[in-house]
Structure formats: C-alpha cells, structure tokens
Amino acid sequence: MKRYDILIIGSGVGGLVCGGILSKEGYRVGVLEKNKQTGGSLQTFSRDKEIFDSGVHYLGGLDKGQNLYQIFSYLGIMEKLKLQRMDEEAFDKIIIGNDQKEYRQAQGYEKFIRNLAVDFPEEEAAIRNYCEKIKWVCSKFPLYNLRDQGLYDEKAEVLELDTYAVIRSLTANRKLQAVLVGNNALYVGKPDETPFYVHALIVNSYIESAWKCINGGSQIAKLLAGHIRDAGGEVIRHAEVVKIASEGNRATYAETADGTRYYADMFISNMHPGKTLEMTDTDVIRNIYRKRIQNLPHTISSFLVHIVLKKNCFKYRRHNYYYHREGRIWDLADYTTDNWPLGYALFFPPSHRTDEYAGTMTIFTYMRYEDVAPWWVTFNTVVAESSRGQAYESFKKEKAGILLDLVEERFPGLRNCIKSYTASTPLSYRDYIGNYDGSLYGIAKDYKDPFKTFISPRTKLRNLFLTGQNINIHGVLGCSISALLTCITLLGNDDVIKKIRNA
C-alpha cells in the first residue's frame, strides 16, 4: 500500500509547483501522472530529431527578482534552466493584413512605449497611460506580487474592467488598439467578455522580461520532479487516476486504472475541477455545485503546424509574430469554414545549430472542438497509440495547407524551406492534457460576472484541494501563482510567500 502526506493528481505546472513547495515544507509528496511524460502543457515531442513544445512557447517574469524567478529560485531550479532571452526590442511583433509594418512590443516599459511611439507619434500619451493602467491593475493582486497578507478588497475594484472597453477608452486609434491587444491569442481575448486583469497580468509578465527554453519547456517539469524526488517524494507516470474515494467529509485514497490505491492525509487535484468532481463519489459535494462547474464555458482550442526546416534556409527570429486580418482582432475565434483562419502566431524555438537560421517553427491558430466532431470518440497518445483514420489525416493536411498559404503571403519562400511538418488538433490537446474539449486555457473568465468563474482551492472534502489554470489564471506563471494559493490554503498560513520573496 502506497501512502503519502500529500498526494497530487496530475503533473502539470500547478501540480509540480505544489509538490515542490510542499516538499520544501517537509511533507512527503506523491505525484500521479497518466502520461509517459510529466509537465502537462510543458510536454515536448520530437520530429526528425528536432524538439517541439506542445504548449508553452515562451515565458515571462524570469528576470532576477521578478515573480516567476523568485518562485523557481525558492524551488532550486532557476539556476539550472537553459534559457534564451528574447529580443529586448521586440519579444512579439504584431502584423496586420493589408499593412506591411511590423509593430514591436519591447521588454521594459520605457522601451515598450518608445518603440510603439515611433509608429504612433501622436499616441505616446495613450501608450504611456496604457502601460500605467497595466501596472496599476497588476499591483492589485497580492500573490502576483508575492505579497503576504493580501486582501481581496485590493483586487475587487479591477475585476469588472472589460479589456475591450479599457483599450477603447485609452485611444480612438483603431490600429493602435489592434496592436495593443495584437497578441491576445495568449488569453483568447473577446470583446464584452475578457476581463482587463487577465490581459494585464499576462502581458505585464512579458514586458518585464521574455524568455524561451532551450531544448523545450519540459526541462522545467523534469527539474521540479527531480526536486520532489530529492526530498523523498515520488513522481509516478502511467498512473491514470479514475476514482477518489472518501469517507464522511474526507478523501481516503486515489485509485488508478490498474486498481492500485494510493493513500494520503491530504490530496491536491491538478485536473480540471469538473473531471475531479466526476471521479469523486461523495454526497458532501452537492449536485448543484457539480453542475455549475461542469457547465462553465471554456476557451477555444487550437490547430498547430510544427515544421522542421531545411538547413540554413529560413532566418531565425528571437521574437514571435502575431498576425490578424485587418479589422478582426476582436473576433479571431468567430471564424467560418470559408474565412478560417482569421489570424495566427509564429513561434521559433532556439536553434541548437546556429543563431542565424531556424531549425524549426510552430504555427498556431484557433480551432473549435466542434470542427473535429467526427473523431471525438477516438483517443491517441504515446501511451495508447491508435490511428484516427485516413479522413482525419486528410482533414489535417487540408487545414495545414490553408494555414501555410496564409503564412506564405507574409513570409514568401517558407514552403520551399519546409523539410517536414506535423499537425495537431483540439483532439491532440484533449488527449494529452486530459481536459474535456482541448480548451487552450480552461474556463473562460467574464468581467460581467467574475464570481461565476471563481473556483476556490478548497472543496467540501476537508482534505481535497484544487490547483491549476482553472483556479486562478493560465500559463506557467499563472499556474505557479495558483499553486502558491493552493499551498497557502492547505497550510493555513502564508509564511511561504516570505520565503519565496527572499529566496
């Protein structure tokens, strides 16, 4: 019989950071992961001996003293990460259909303002006000700033700000509006829905500092798992949890698909809260709560083309590109069959061959789960490999061709540089990450009803807690902050914040 002080279900960023923090606090931690590889969205894969990130393509907040830097330093992994700082003059470049300019978003607020003011000289005051608004909103989130004893009242005044309304209030220049939210694929920005705090917390982290992982983001997961093991814990792969058993108001064990039972004093689920509730058989958690969680709307999914490039053929960029058709920045997810895609992003992993030429690139765009409905019943991972059939392969090839044609318009010659490529759909993300519908960022936030999507780390089972992107915000930084919130809730105090801040 396996027994731990704390058992964590799922080895995504939230689960591993929880495991790392609680291991340092002296608990024996066990982590169960259904896949061959740990890390959730940090998972990588290889094609033609080249490494690709499955989900995390760049990171923010990793400069000395910044929030993610402090968390990783406390966990003892910061100095072991292999990172490349992105171009300080432009971590993201925004390109717009029918406009040949490339609009630069720079690291550091003064550089950010200076660069955009070159293209919008009459809007410098608006750009500066935008930056001040972001910093003001971010200041209202204590955990994001690694402040202990933070009050909810601090952030209450900013939860109901609408991204669309805020941007329009700052400038009437529609081109500048489109540039300021040009990388909104980072959070699936929608007008009259997406809270401005989501935009602010994410964009601020990249303006502060932006980085790529050399040889993929899986190194973060491997280092965190190693930290847990070094502290006497275990990280067990190929262990798919199918049941969380309980007695009274306490969870007792988690059972995996092979019938093994793992006992613990406390449990943390890094799975989608709805999935967690589905496998937790208890009357303590009321049906009305279960239905509320399961009926919350999700963000859209994605379609990606992962390209292996011919040697010394396509120039390497130390920045990303975000493209959208002119006038469509606010409704990129509302495409039709005829006009898909309305936008895309290009990511360039650091090349291990040369600084001049790219070895690989990934093209990202939105895709709804309904678009792959004919293959919903199929399942495919490295663990349980099966073909979805020729019709599915033809679907991917057709969509990849359409996407490549659009990218070729702005990057002529790309097709001639392609050695090989592979495509992934919402089904790929669904199967590897374990959510319902391949959702990119989990539960969608809405400024009109911020409490509707508020999910506490606590559950009605006194020793079962939740973590992950649905508890707070998504991304490596967002899930790390969520993990910190979960650990504070479980420990009953916020002493660990001081330790992280002083790491």
Residue-wise pLDDT for 225-261, tens only, equals 999 999 999 999 999 999 999 999 999 999 999 999 9
Question: What angle is formed at CA 40 by the lines to CA 503 and CA 422, rounded to 5 degrees?
Answer: 130
Residue 382 confidence class, pLDDT cut points 50, 70, 90:
low
- Locate tokens 């982590």: which residue? 31
- What mean pLDDT, rounded, does the chain reach? 94
In the chain, the amino acid numbered 218 is S
Q: Cα(75)–Cα(153) distance, rounded to whole angstroms?
A: 30
Q: What is the CA radius of gyration of the chain?
A: 22
Q: For residue 232, give the 3-state DSSP assignment.
A: coil
Element holding 499 (H helix, E strand): helix 495-501
Distance CA 500, CA 70 (A): 6
Mean pLDDT is lowest, of 112-121, 307-316, 382-391, for: 382-391
Instruction: Give the pLDDT score at 150.
Output: 66
Q: Token pair of 11, please? A: 């080895």
For residue 186, the tally of other CB atoms under 10 A from its CB is: 24
Q: How many CA atoms lie within 13 A of 324 on its CB side?
A: 24
User: pLDDT band for position 155 (50/70/90)?
Assistant: confident
The whole-number pLDDT of residue 187 equals 96
Could you tell me the pLDDT band of residue 186, with boundaries at 50, 70 and 90?
very high
Distance CA 153, CA 186 (A): 27
C-alpha span between 279 and 255 (Å, rounded)? 10
Cα dihedral 184, 186, 187, 189, rounded to 10, equals 10
pLDDT at 108: 98
What are 117-153's pLDDT values in tens digits? 999 999 999 999 999 999 999 999 999 999 986 656 6
- Segment 379-385 mean pLDDT: 60
**C-alpha to C-alpha distance for 12 and 270, rounded to whole angstroms:** 7
User: Can you state the angle between helices 67-74 and 13-24, rounded to 10 degrees?
Assistant: 50
Indicate the SS3 state at residue 17: helix
User: pLDDT for 419-475, tens place per residue?
Assistant: 999 999 999 989 888 888 999 999 999 999 988 888 999 999 999 999 999 998 899
Q: What is the mean pLDDT of residues 15-29?
A: 98
Q: What number of CA atoms fall less than 13 Å from residue 38's CA on the CB side?
A: 25
Q: What pLDDT was estimated at residue 387?
A: 73
Q: How far is CA 301 from CA 83, 142, 351, 426, 472, in A?
A: 27, 30, 27, 5, 19
For 258-317, what is the HEC assignment? Answer: CCCEEEEEEEEECCCHHHHHHCECCCCCCHHHHHHHHCCCECCEEEEEEEEECCCCCECC
**What is residue 152's predicted lDDT score, i.e. its pLDDT?**
63
Q: Can you state the percent helix, strand and coil of the chain, rounding each to 5?
A: 35, 20, 40
Global pTM reads: 0.95
Beta-carbon contacts of 241 under 8 Å, excluding residues fewer than 6 positions away, are 9, 32, 34, 254, 255, 256, 271, 279
- Name the percent of the chain lying above pLDDT 90: 88
Q: What is the mean pLDDT of residues 181-186?
A: 97
- Grouping H, G, I as helix, E, B as strand and the rest as coil, residue 435 is coil
Here the tokens at position 467 are 């973590």
At 383 the pLDDT is: 41
E strands present in 318-468: 320-324, 343-347, 360-367, 418-424, 464-466
- pLDDT (tens digit, 9 = 90+) per residue, 41-99? 999 998 988 899 988 899 999 999 999 999 999 999 999 999 999 999 999 999 999 99
Q: What is the pLDDT of residue 258?
A: 96
Q: How does residue 171 score in pLDDT terms, banded at 50, 70 and 90? A: very high
**Which helix (DSSP H) or strand (DSSP E) does residue 407 occupy?**
helix 390-410
**C-beta separation of 68 from 205 below 8 A:** yes
Q: pLDDT for 277-331, tens place per residue? A: 999 989 999 999 999 999 999 999 999 999 999 999 999 999 999 999 999 999 9
User: Tokens 């057709």 label which residue?
Assistant: 398
Distance CA 114, CA 499 (A): 36
Q: Label the pairing between strands 44-47 and 261-269.
A: unpaired
> What is the rounded distance in angstroms from the CA atom of residue 14 to the CA atom of residue 477?
9
**Beta-strand pair 301-309/29-32:** unpaired
Q: Six-digit token pair at 91? A: 């971590």
* pLDDT at residue 434, as a whole number: 81
pLDDT (0 to 100) of residue 385: 44
Q: Going from the N-terminus, what domains does the chain have, and what CATH number goes with each?
A: 2-44+58-82+215-296+443-501 (3.50.50.60), 84-94+102-206 (no CATH), 300-440 (no CATH)
* The pLDDT value given to residue 339: 98
SS (H, E, C) 101-150: EEEEECCCHHHHHHHHHHHCHHHHHHHHHHHHHHHHHHCCCCHHHCCCCC
Residue 151's pLDDT is 59
Residue 354 has pLDDT above 70, yes or no: no
203-217, 312-326, 370-384 — which is least confidently predicted? 370-384
**Dist CA 332 CA 344 (whole Å):** 9
Burial class (CB in 10 A: 0-12, 13-18, 19+), 398: exposed
Rounded to 5 degrees, φ, ψ at 399 are -65, -40
